């Protein structure tokens, strides 16, 4: 059994296939497994809570894990140790989530492209057809992650409290979410994964996309992301497309295309969930 995992900070999707790429189990979902945020004990607990994973742990031969927070060697090592302990007979590979987005969005293995992730967090890299290049080292959701779910969640909460949100949206926002100040602070400062908590609020934008306020908010975040991340690759952008992965990107395609036209880069493919595109990549040569 081969396990392919695409993990964000909010959730992790697991696909179990045989060496020919045939699915063996229904898609498995666990909580997010971000080793930059969660302890080894917490990571292990989340995985072991899955009945399907626990029941099949001894027949797993390969684990290919792509995840948020896996961009440093220490984080990779931490998560590798957890996975090797749970799946004792498996070959384990842990890579940053950007590579999953690359392999799922490019049109052929040697295609060069700038590849962006806009999900709970955000990231941007250049794939030259063989190697991944990143010109900005992520400092996490507190300082970076423009146009991500947690970025938009933060902006929505701020606009609500600073009275920058139009009255209709403010009433709807307050009805949908618990906006009690103590409740918000408890989740931000005393609970694990505050970035995932913030990202939950981003859904509101896509339920109210007919609003000028919402459209402007989405484009503001994308402009920031493009300025700070995509434009790191000005020379490459003259000849390669920009592909996007993640739910925020998928539901913001119109706004991304508008910003791309403003800023002069070519938009390529969009994919909401990269994991399905990883099956042939990992099984074709087995």
**Exposed/middle/buried for residue 218 (C-beta within 10 Å: 0-12, 13-18, 19+):** buried
Would 111 be classed as within a structural domain? no
Q: What percent of the chain has pLDDT over 70?
A: 100
- Is residue 273's pLDDT more than 90? no
Count of structural domains within the chain: 1
Would 145 be classed as within a structural domain? no
The per-residue pLDDT for range 231-244, each reduced to its tens digit, is: 999 999 999 999 99
The per-residue pLDDT for range 10-19, each reduced to its tens digit, is: 789 999 999 9
Q: Which helix (H) or strand (E) holds 77?
A: helix 73-86
SS3 125: strand
Mean pLDDT, the chain, whole residue set? 94
Would 15 be classed as within a structural domain? yes
Would 105 be classed as within a structural domain? no
pTM above 0.85, yes or no: no
Would 60 be classed as within a structural domain? yes
Q: Quick one: residue 193, left, alpha or beta (phi over 0 = left, psi -120 to 50 = alpha)? A: left
- Is residue 253's pLDDT more than 90? yes
Q: Which domain holds residue 73?
A: 2-100+274-283
Average pLDDT, integer, range 121-148: 92
Would 30 be classed as within a structural domain? yes
The answer to whether the CB of 151 falls within 8 A of the CB of 145 is yes
pLDDT at position 29:
95
The answer to whether the CB of 112 falls within 8 A of the CB of 266 is no
Q: What percent of the chain has pLDDT over 90?
A: 81
Q: What is the CATH number of the domain that holds 20?
A: 3.30.420.40
Would 75 be classed as within a structural domain? yes
More confident residue, 9 or 255: 255
Average pLDDT, integer, range 173-180: 98
The per-residue pLDDT for range 82-116, each reduced to its tens digit, is: 999 999 999 999 998 888 999 889 988 899 999 99
Would 200 be classed as within a structural domain? no
């Amino acid at each position: 059994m081969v396990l392919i995992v695409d993990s964000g900070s909010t959730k992790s999707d697991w696909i179990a296939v045989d060496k020919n790429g045939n699915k063996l189990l229904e898609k498995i979902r666990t909580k997010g497994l971000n080793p930059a945020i969660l302890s080894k004990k917490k990571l292990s607990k989340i995985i072991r809570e899955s009945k399907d994973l626990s029941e099949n742990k001894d027949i797993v031969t390969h684990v290919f894990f792509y995840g948020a927070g896996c961009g440093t060697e220490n984080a990779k090592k931490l998560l590798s140790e957890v996975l090797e302990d749970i799946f004792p007979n498996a070959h384990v590979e842990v890579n940053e989530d950007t590579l999953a987005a690359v392999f799922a969005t490019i049109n052929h293995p040697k295609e060069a492209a700038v590849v962006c992730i806009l999900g709970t967090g955000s990231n941007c890299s250049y794939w030259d057809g063989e190697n991944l290049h990143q010109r900005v080292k992520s400092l996490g959701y507190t300082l970076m992650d423009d146009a991500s779910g947690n970025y938009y969640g933060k902006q929505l909460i701020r606009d609500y409290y600073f009275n920058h949100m139009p009255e209709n949206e403010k009433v709807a926002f307050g009805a949908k979410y618990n906006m009690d100040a103590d409740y918000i602070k408890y989740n931000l400062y005393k609970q694990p994964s505050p970035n995932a908590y913030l990202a939950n609020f981003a859904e509101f934008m896509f339920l109210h996309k007919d609003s000028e306020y919402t459209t402007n908010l989405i484009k503001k975040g994308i402009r920031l992301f493009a300025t700070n991340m995509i434009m790191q690759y000005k020379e490459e952008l003259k000849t390669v497309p920009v592909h996007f992965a993640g739910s925020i990107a998928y539901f913001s395609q119109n706004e991304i295309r508008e910003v791309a036209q403003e800023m002069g880069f070519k938009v390529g493919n969009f994919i909401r969930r990269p994991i399905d595109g990883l099956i042939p990549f990992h099984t074709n040569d087995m």
